[in-house]
Amino acid sequence: MIGYGRFVVGTLLVTGATGSLGRVVATRAAAAGWTVVGTCLGAGAATPAPAERLDIRDPAAVRTLLDRIRPDAIIHTAVGRNRDDWGTTADGAANIGVAAGGIRLVHVSSDAVFSGRAVHYDESAAPDPINPYGAAKAAAETAVRATAPQAAIVRTSLILGDGRGGHEILTHALVSGRRRGALFTDDIRKPVHVDDLADALLELAATDYAGILNVAGTDAISRYDLGILVAHRDGLDPSAIPAAPSPGNHALDVRLTLDRAASILNVRLRGARDFLSTAPTS
Ligand SMILES: NC(=O)c1ccc[n+]([C@@H]2O[C@H](COP(=O)([O-])OP(=O)(O)OC[C@H]3O[C@@H](n4cnc5c(N)ncnc54)[C@H](OP(=O)(O)O)[C@@H]3O)[C@@H](O)[C@H]2O)c1
């Protein structure tokens, strides 16, 4: 265990609190004793309390909200509705970093910053994105490092486990025929349970850890095999999932190494084969 301790349970600002990750972060933070203020772009309700409207593309709005809320920590999960919306995903992260000043900041990044050419990526790996979303997330990392050098920047992978993850929704839609397409058999990630990731972010919010940290699940698995696990868990017919090789315009095999997370975090990061063997939780 490396000593990054700085125990804080005070007021926590969760950006993107209506999102699939932010909602779980906000809920688990409140259960852990934080006073939680969530934000969203639209009018959606958020748990555990209605979210504040905030457009992170507007630097003045970000500063005004932080001046009013005066949080002890910020977990920045918000991302563009269109993932490659540069103004939200990249510039918005910069606006959060600038306004945060000395406030503890945990920024959520993605394994999409990598091409997959190297397969295994530790925290020292430099981004080499090959699609607009990965480029925007890489730019966000650079902006946060420049504006808030004491921030923790968490690179993570596919997020699921509570039935609301994008891959769970996609698998159901493909099996029912509501969506056309296929799950790629050669597109490998290390999916993480949303609860495990949320708990890791909350742990980090109460520490001084600065810089990149990989937080993902322990199993490397293809998108297709992940869909098969979701189908088995949810009583769907796995043979109804269309399979295909990736068209090659995005990363194929990205595996975040987890040694540092294991040495720093108390949360146990489960693998997809473990957490998808039981009913959805959260
Ligand atoms: N999902 C994954 O598998 C995955 C994998 C790796 C990394 N990540 C990262 O994890 C984080 C959370 O992803 P997610 O899947 O939970 O996202 P999500 O479900 O799409 O939620 C996005 C959130 O951001 C808010 N938002 C959108 N545009 C905004 C703006 N201009 N200003 C302020 N808020 C805005 C949305 O508010 P509204 O609800 O009002 O639109 C929503 O609350 C992101 O940083 C993402 O890059 C996700």
CA of 143 to the centre of ligand 1 (A): 18
Provide the angle, in degrees to the nearest 10, between the axes of the packed helices 92-100 and 59-69: 40
How large is the angle between the packed helices 132-147 and 92-100, nearest 10 degrees?
10
SS3 (DSSP) at 2: coil
7 CA to middle of ligand 1, Å? 27
Three-state DSSP at 189 gives: strand
CB-based contact 152:176 (threshold 8 Å): no
Largest CA distance in the chain: 54
Nearest Cα to Cα of residue 237 among 169, 168, 184, 171: 171
Hey, which of 13, 23, 40 would you mutate to test ligand 1's pocket, going by the most ligand atoms within 8 Å of its Cβ? 40
- Contact between 25 and 14 under an 8 Å Cβ cutoff? The reply is yes
Show Cβ contacts of residue 163 under 8 Å, excluding neighbours closer than 6 positions. Answer: 234, 280
The one-character DSSP state at 165 is S
Specify the pLDDT at position 281: 67
At 3 the pLDDT is 39
Nearest to 167 by CA among 109, 122, 220, 225: 225
Identify the residues whose C-beta falls under 6 Å from ligand 1: 15-22, 40-42, 44, 54-57, 77-81, 88, 92, 108, 110, 137, 156-159, 166
Structure tokens at 148: 């808030």
- The CA 77 to ligand 1 mean position distance, Å, reads 6
What's the rounded Cα separation, in Å, for the pair 83 and 52?
21
Q: What is the pTM of this model?
A: 0.96
Instruction: Please provide the DSSP assignment of 212-247 as one string.
Output: EEE---S--EEHHHHHHHHHHHHT--GGGS-EE---
Q: 248: which residues sit within 8 A by CB, 6+ positions away?
A: none
> d(Cα 67, Cα 123) in Å, to the nearest integer?
33
For residue 4, the model assigns a pLDDT of 44
Bridge pairing between strands 35-40 and 11-15:
parallel
Which residue's CA lies nearest to atom 32 of ligand 1? Answer: 55
> Can you give the pLDDT at residue 51?
86
Query: What's residue 229's pLDDT?
Result: 98
- DSSP assignment, residue 127? P
Nearest CA to ligand 1 atom 22: 19
Is the bond preceding 48 in cis, omega lying within 30 degrees of 0? yes
Q: Which residues of the chain have pLDDT under 50?
A: 1-4
**CA of 57 relative to ligand 1 center, distance in Å:** 13
End-to-end Cα spacing for the chain? 27
Total residues belonging to the chain: 282
Model pLDDT, residue 280: 82
